[in-house]
């Protein structure tokens, strides 16, 4: 009995410490940084691919093929790992997207499932919207909580090769029980200098935190290989990665270096039918 009581006490202490530490690394606070996005310092608000379901749903409006993808994003400890999947189905009226992500481990975890829609009105402008269901579970008698929120984004190409994107996560300021879910604004600009070089800059603002500034680039080294790198502030992070492309298969690996906590890797695999 004493061993069981001690075990429960240690489990409680660990859960509280993990819960406090994980506030900066949860799905809502950390955001989804799959391979390419992680390598480019999350300057993803102007990108249009399957991962627009996480970064800016307006990008879905430009997809032409049915696409599926999976990702894994490592945390600073294995209990902070984040993984998920995405699906996009282009239709005559726009692209329908679905996403699922899971963060944590058996004693503490978060889940987010999203249903999205993106539509382009021309090559110069598109809009996107996503509805999310969120669930948080703490083991033992600590219970669980659920919430629903939404996110919205726009993507514009005012002139050839210049892209401007804006996205808001949780503009309704929904809560998870008594806890606030962050409301996060993203604004970015990217320019395609050639078929090989894309440069992007952006800013991200949680209404309760200081703004972050980000810059990243994507360089097509050869037909099957691309390279990415980026930098962001608050806190200072450096990132780099590589993409591997063969026919309709795209794989990316990205590494983010926190100034004090070290490296975290992300991996992405997607396929367009």
> At residue 9, what are phi and psi to the nearest 5 degrees?
-65, -45
Per-residue pLDDT, 139: 84
pLDDT digits 0-9 by tens, 27-76 = 655 567 888 999 999 999 999 999 999 999 999 999 999 999 999 998 87
Higher confidence at residue 24 or residue 234? 234
Per-residue pLDDT, 23: 44
Average pLDDT estimate for 178-190: 93
Domain that holds residue 209: 2-272
pLDDT at 79 > cutoff 60:
yes
Per-residue pLDDT, 28: 57
For residue 145, give both structure tokens: 């909580």
Structurally, how many domains does the chain consist of? 1
Per-residue pLDDT, 14: 45
Higher confidence at residue 262 or residue 5? 262
Q: Name the least confident of 64-68, 139-143, 167-171, 186-190.
A: 139-143
pLDDT digits 0-9 by tens, 187-203 = 999 999 999 999 999 99
Per-residue pLDDT, 30: 52
pLDDT digits 0-9 by tens, 213-270 = 999 999 999 999 999 999 999 989 999 999 999 999 999 999 998 877 788 999 999 9
Q: Name the least confident of 66-75, 160-169, 175-184, 187-196.
A: 175-184
Per-residue pLDDT, 11: 43
Per-residue pLDDT, 21: 44
> At residue 173, what are phi and psi to the nearest 5 degrees?
55, 45
Per-residue pLDDT, 9: 43
CA distance 223 to 101: 31
What's the CATH code of the domain at 30?
Answer: 2.40.160.60
CA distance 256 to 231: 9
252 class by beta-carbon count within 10 Å (0-12 exposed, 13-18 middle, 19+ buried): buried
pTM of the model: 0.86
For residue 127, give both structure tokens: 């809009």
Average pLDDT estimate for 144-170: 96
Per-residue pLDDT, 32: 76
């Amino acid at each position: 009995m004493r061993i069981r009581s001690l075990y429960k006490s240690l489990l409680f202490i660990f859960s509280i410490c993990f819960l406090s530490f994980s506030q900066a690394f949860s799905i809502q606070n950390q955001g989804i940084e799959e391979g390419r996005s992680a390598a480019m310092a999350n300057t993803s608000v102007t990108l249009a691919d399957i991962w627009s379901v996480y970064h800016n749903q307006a990008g879905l409006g430009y997809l032409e093929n049915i696409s599926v993808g999976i990702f894994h994003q490592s945390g600073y400890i294995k209990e902070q790992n984040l993984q998920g999947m995405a699906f996009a189905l282009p239709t005559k009226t726009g692209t329908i997207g679905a996403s699922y992500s899971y963060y944590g481990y058996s004693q503490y975890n978060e889940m987010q499932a999203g249903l999205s829609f993106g539509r382009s009105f021309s090559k110069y402008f598109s809009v996107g919207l996503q509805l999310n269901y969120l669930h948080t579970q703490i083991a033992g008698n600590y219970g669980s909580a659920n919430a629903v929120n939404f996110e919205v984004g726009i993507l514009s190409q005012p002139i050839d090769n210049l892209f401007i994107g804006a996205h808001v996560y949780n503009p309704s300021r929904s809560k998870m029980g008594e806890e606030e879910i962050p409301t996060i604004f993203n604004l970015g600009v990217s320019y395609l200098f050639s078929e090989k070089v894309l440069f992007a800059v952006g800013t991200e603002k949680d209404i309760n935190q200081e703004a972050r500034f980000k810059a990243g680039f994507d360089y097509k080294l050869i037909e099957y290989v691309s390279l990415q790198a980026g930098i962001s502030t608050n806190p200072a992070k450096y990132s780099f990665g590589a993409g591997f492309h063969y026919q309709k298969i795209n794989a990316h690996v990205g590494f983010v270096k926190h100034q004090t906590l070290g490296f975290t890797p992300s991996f992405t695999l997607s396929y367009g039918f």
